[in-house]
Amino acid sequence: MSRNFSRTPPDEQGFSLISLLLIVIILGVMMALAISSLNNTGLPSSGTGGSSTTLSNSTGAGAIITQAQVSTCEADFSSIETAIVTYFSDNGKPPSSGTTWATSNPYGEPIMHSWPSGAPYFTFAWNGTVLSIIPRYGPSSTDSIGTKSPRTGCYAA
């Protein structure tokens, strides 16, 4: 019995070292372009078109963290305001002071699963008529997210 070992022609043996090298170079150029399109904060740069995402005038980790705290505070304030309006529309009166009205509703699901807390940067207080933001630093704000100048509420966190 003779076995017939056929050899594949050299032009059909698969990838060569040169073709793999070219693929690696192309991927490297694509990565360099992707990295260069990011600014030093690690976020996509706004450029001249598209959405204009501005963090603040200063760059760096501190500015990003501060902006994140303010954004979180604003979002939490909005969530609590929505919960107050929902409670009022369901019950015909504003909720009582404290936080239990939002997280335990005797008529079914709670309005909020948990009361937002931005501790240690800020806390929220509801006294039955006014929603207040108490920042870690600076003066509190009542019935608003605060002001940038002077820094109050969310902006003083």
Please tell me the distance from the alpha carbon of residue 13 to that of residue 121, in angstroms, as a whole number. 63
Which has more pLDDT, 58 or 68?
68
Please tell me the distance from the alpha carbon of residue 68 to that of residue 63, in angstroms, as a whole number. 8
Please tell me the distance from the alpha carbon of residue 81 to that of residue 68, in angstroms, as a whole number. 20
Please tell me the distance from the alpha carbon of residue 51 to that of residue 149, in angstroms, as a whole number. 26
Tens digit of each residue's pLDDT (9 = 90 or more) over 35-45:
777 655 555 55
Tens digit of each residue's pLDDT (9 = 90 or more) over 91-119:
888 888 988 888 877 677 788 888 888 77
Sign of CA pseudo-dihedral 69, 152, 93, 85: negative
Average pLDDT taken over every residue of the chain: 77
pLDDT for the residue 56? 44
Can you give the three-state secondary structure of 36-105, one letter per residue?
Answer: HCECCCCCECCCCCCCCCCCCCCCCHHHHHHHHHHHHHHHHHHHHHHHHHHHHHHHCCCCCCCCHHHHCC
Token pair for 135: 């920042």
Which has more pLDDT, 90 or 45?
90
Return the residue matching tokens 């870690």.
136
Break the chain into its structural domains and give their ranges.
61-156
Please state the pTM of the whole predicted model.
0.58
Q: Are 103 and 112 in contact (CB under 8 A)?
A: yes
Task: Please give the average per-residue pLDDT across 6-21, as a whole number.
Answer: 70
Please tell me the distance from the alpha carbon of residue 58 to that of residue 65, in angstroms, as a whole number. 12
Q: In the structure, what pLDDT confidence band is assigned to residue 155 with cuts at 50, 70 and 90?
A: confident
Tens digit of each residue's pLDDT (9 = 90 or more) over 120-146:
888 899 998 899 998 888 888 888 888
Q: In the structure, what pLDDT confidence band is assigned to residue 48 with cuts at 50, 70 and 90?
A: very low
105-123 burial code (b ≥16 CB/10 A, e <16): beeeeebbeebbebeebbb
Q: In the structure, what pLDDT confidence band is assigned to residue 11 with cuts at 50, 70 and 90?
A: low
